[in-house]
Amino acid sequence: MPQDRTGLLIIRVWIEDGSEAPLRASVRHTRDVAAGFQYAITLTDPDATAQVVRRWLRDVLSD
């Protein structure tokens, strides 16, 4: 029986007023929730954040 291909990605966002790059996007993801989050990064750019999400989704699809 094929194993389910699932995962969890959470993006937590807040704004640091007064900063030269005020966006803070904390991205965490995992393919094995029981093992906890396997990857975590904080980014300040919306496009870079979207790229992390796209890359992760492609990884999930490619398994």
Partner 1 sequence: MLRMSPRPPQRRVVVPRSAEGAADDFHLSLLGAFELAEGAVPLVLPGGAQRLLAFLALQDRTVTRSATAGTLWPEASETHAHASLRSALSRLDASTREAIEVDVLDLRLAPGVAVDIRDARALAHRLLIVNTVPSAADLTAAAIAALSSELLPDWYDEWAIVSAEDWRQLRLHALEALAASLAEAERYADAVAAALAVIKAEPLRESAHAALIRVHLAEGNQSEALRAFDRYRALLRTELGLEPTPALFALIRDLRPQ
What are the residues binding partner 1 (CB under 8 A)?
6-10, 12, 14, 16-21, 24, 26, 33-34, 36, 42-44, 57, 60
- Residue 36's closest CA among 16, 3, 10? 10
Residue with smaller CB distance to partner 1, 1 or 20: 20
One-character DSSP codes across 7-29:
-EEEEEEEE-TTSSS-EEEEEEE
- Nearest to partner 1 of 1, 35 (CB atom): 35
* In the complex, minimum distance from the CB of residue 46 to partner 1, in angstroms, rounded to a whole number: 14
Residues forming beta bridges with residue 58, ordered by sequence position:
none
